[in-house]
């Protein structure tokens, strides 16, 4: 193995651990953007900057075509055994008519459920070079760097009863149940406070305690976890509706936002749009901390889907996928220095005016998926000297 880069931090230098990754490209542009992660991994291995072993698996429509399921038990076993799962995207019109349980999204849902991925992290970072692609004014979004932490496995999407009943008088009644237990709020709050400590040390918790009992408990438990375990972190509470308003009014007031499944679904999409394009948005989903190993199960994926409209054309933006890999470096593999370099490389290619079609603006240079991936590796190379 070649010498370690001088830019690496001391702890990374000493460990040079082998990191086991499971790559699940999926369907459509999932395979195209994953190819750019593979390019980066191959380069990092070849340079001896880090050491990765990779397994590959099928998920979504690709898995259905091969095995008539959205993900096989064998692939799930690989996911369980990996340090991190790197996921592309699933779905497409080809699989619209497959049985419900084998639909492409079922693969994603099984991974989340079986790995116990209860915390969804969605950063909203506005690169200076892209500040004009946002629907908000440059001064509102330029330099924006916030993190939405959404509870992913509880709340109204999963609570029982969940029914539609025929009332027999020409009316029906639909019921969804918002339910949270103390432990679910405690563990998501801990993820948020932990993250804040590594960022700007502020957490904003959002709920609707004025009209929802689950909001009252959410507020109470977050306050207790804060007082007990994280008194050094600044905590504020906002009602989720006015929080949403503040997110578009002056988003830079936030550092980490922690919220439930439903509000998180909406607020993270709002935050996403502050930054411009779907092709730029990474995400991470984390499971419970294993007290013995100090590790968590985790999966990293771009927010976007399989984009059948541009699949196979070399037009996909690989930056969301590459930034998702960067989150794996930071949150699962203890390679924060390398993650910083990757973020810097992405910012540099954008600053040089390279753009895939989705973020193209006047005066910039159009590049393909692979040209963008190559440019990121070239910037990483430049950062090593
Ligand atoms: P989508 O995210 O695939 O695409 C929405 C629009 O954004 C399209 O115009 C697409 O071309 C563009 N786009 C998305 N990612 C891009 C990228 N990296 N570079 C450039 N442009 C990009 O959402 P959709 O069209 O609603 O769904 C398409 C399929 O993907 C469906 O089958 C859907 O179920 C699935 N889907 C999967 C996931 C996932 O795997 N996590 C998420 C969302 C949608």
Write the pLDDT tens digit of every residue in 194-241.
999 999 999 999 999 999 999 999 999 999 999 999 999 999 999 999
DSSP per-residue letters across 308-319: TTTTTTT----H
Binning pLDDT at 50, 70 and 90, where does residue 128 land? confident
**Is 0.75 topped by the overall pTM?**
yes
The reply to whether ligand 1 has any atom less than 6 angstroms from the CB of 338 is no
Q: What percent of the chain has pLDDT over 70?
A: 96
Asked if residue 10 has pLDDT above 50, the reply is no
Q: What is d(CA 329, CA 337) in angstroms, rounded to the nearest whole number?
A: 9
The reply to whether ligand 1 has any atom less than 6 angstroms from the CB of 108 is yes
Average pLDDT over residues 318-328: 98
Counting from 1 in the atom list of ligand 1, the atom nearest the Cα of 308 is 28
Counting from 1 in the atom list of ligand 1, the atom nearest the Cα of 96 is 32
Average pLDDT over residues 339-345: 97
Q: What percent of the chain has pLDDT over 90?
A: 84
DSSP per-residue letters across 19-47: EEEEEEEESTHHHHHHHHHHHHHHHHHHH
Binning pLDDT at 50, 70 and 90, where does residue 11 land? very low
Q: What is d(CA 205, CA 207) in angstroms, rounded to the nearest whole number?
A: 7
Q: What separation in Å is there between the alpha carbon of 304 and the centre of ligand 1? A: 5
Q: What separation in Å is there between the alpha carbon of 149 and the centre of ligand 1? A: 22
Average pLDDT over residues 38-58: 97
Q: Is the peptide bond before 80 cis (omega within 30 degrees of 0)?
A: no
Task: Tell me the best of 305, 321, 322 to mutate to test the pocket of ligand 1, counting ligand atoms within 8 Å of each CB and taking the most.
Answer: 305
Q: What separation in Å is there between the alpha carbon of 279 and the centre of ligand 1? A: 9
DSSP per-residue letters across 123-144: EEE--GGGGGGSSS-HHHHTT-
Q: What is d(CA 66, CA 48) in angstroms, rounded to the nearest whole number?
A: 35
The reply to whether ligand 1 has any atom less than 6 angstroms from the CB of 373 is no
Residue 241's pLDDT is what?
97
Q: What is the pLDDT of the chain when averaged over all its residues?
A: 93
The reply to whether ligand 1 has any atom less than 6 angstroms from the CB of 308 is yes
Q: What separation in Å is there between the alpha carbon of 307 and the centre of ligand 1? A: 4
Task: At 267, give phi and psi (nearest 5°).
Answer: -65, -35
Condensed to tens digits (0 to 9), the pLDDT of residues 155-196 reads 999 899 999 999 999 999 999 999 999 999 999 999 999 999
Residue 132's pLDDT is what?
83
Asked if residue 66 has pLDDT above 70, the reply is yes
Asked if 176 and 295 touch (Cβ cutoff 8 Å), the reply is: no
Name which residue sits closest to atom 27 of ligand 1, judged by CA: 305
Residue 6's pLDDT is what?
40
Residue 5's pLDDT is what?
40
Asked if residue 42 has pLDDT above 50, the reply is yes
Q: What separation in Å is there between the alpha carbon of 278 and the centre of ligand 1? A: 8
Average pLDDT over residues 71-93: 98
Angle at 135 between CA 133 and CA 136, to 5 degrees: 105
The catalytic site residues sit at 157, 208, 241, 265, 269
Asked if residue 304 has pLDDT above 50, the reply is yes
The reply to whether ligand 1 has any atom less than 6 angstroms from the CB of 317 is yes
Q: What is d(CA 186, CA 335) in angstroms, rounded to the nearest whole number?
A: 27
Asked if residue 148 has pLDDT above 50, the reply is yes
Condensed to tens digits (0 to 9), the pLDDT of residues 365-376 reads 999 999 999 999
Q: What is the distance of C-alpha 312 from the center of its chain?
A: 24
Residue 63's pLDDT is what?
98
The reply to whether ligand 1 has any atom less than 6 angstroms from the CB of 323 is no
Task: At 295, give phi and psi (nearest 5°).
Answer: -110, 165
Most confident listed range (127-131, 201-205, 266-270): 201-205
Residue 274's pLDDT is what?
85
Condensed to tens digits (0 to 9), the pLDDT of residues 239-258 reads 999 999 999 999 999 999 99
């Amino acid at each position: 193995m070649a010498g370690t880069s001088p830019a690496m931090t001391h702890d990374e230098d000493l460990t040079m651990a082998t990191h086991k990754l499971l790559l699940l490209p999926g369907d459509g542009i999932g395979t195209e953007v994953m190819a750019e992660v593979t390019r980066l991994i191959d380069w990092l291995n070849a340079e001896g900057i880090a050491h990765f072993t990779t397994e590959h698996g099928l998920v979504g429509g690709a898995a259905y075509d091969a095995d008539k399921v959205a993900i096989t038990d064998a692939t799930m076993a690989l996911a369980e055994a990996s340090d991190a799962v790197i996921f592309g995207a699933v779905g497409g019109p080809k699989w619209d008519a497959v049985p419900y349980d084998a639909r492409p999204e079922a693969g994603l849902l099984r991974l989340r459920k079986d790995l116990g991925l209860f915390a969804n992290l969605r950063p909203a970072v506005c690169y200076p070079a892209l500040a004009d692609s946002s629907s908000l004014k440059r001064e509102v979004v330029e330099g924006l760097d916030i993190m939405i932490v959404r509870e992913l496995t509880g709340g109204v999407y999963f609570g029982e009863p969940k029914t539609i009943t025929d009332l027999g008088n020409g009316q029906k009644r639909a019921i969804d149940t918002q339910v949270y237990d103390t432990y679910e709020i405690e563990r998501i709050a801990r993820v948020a406070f932990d993250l804040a400590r590594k960022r700007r040390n502020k957490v904003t918790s959002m709920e609707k305690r004025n009209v929802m009992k689950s909001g009252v408990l959410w507020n109470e438990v977050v306050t207790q976890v804060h007082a007990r375990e994280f008194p050094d972190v600044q905590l504020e509470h906002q009602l989720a509706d006015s929080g949403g308003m503040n997110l578009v009014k002056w988003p830079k007031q936030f550092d980490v936002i922690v919220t439930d499944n439903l509000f998180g679904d909406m607020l993270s999409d709002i935050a996403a749009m502050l930054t411009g394009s779907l092709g730029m948005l990474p995400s991470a989903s984390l499971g419970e901390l294993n007290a013995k190993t100090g590790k968590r199960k985790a999966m990293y994926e771009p927010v976007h889907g399989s984009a059948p409209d541009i699949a196979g054309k070399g037009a996909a933006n690989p930056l969301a996928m590459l930034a998702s890999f960067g989150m794996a470096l930071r949150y699962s593999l203890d390679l924060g220095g390398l993650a910083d370099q990757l973020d810097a490389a992405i910012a540099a290619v954008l600053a040089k005016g390279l753009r895939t079609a989705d973020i193209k603006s006047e005066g910039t240079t159009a590049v393909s998926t692979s040209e963008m991936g190559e440019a990121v590796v070239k910037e990483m190379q430049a950062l090593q000297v």
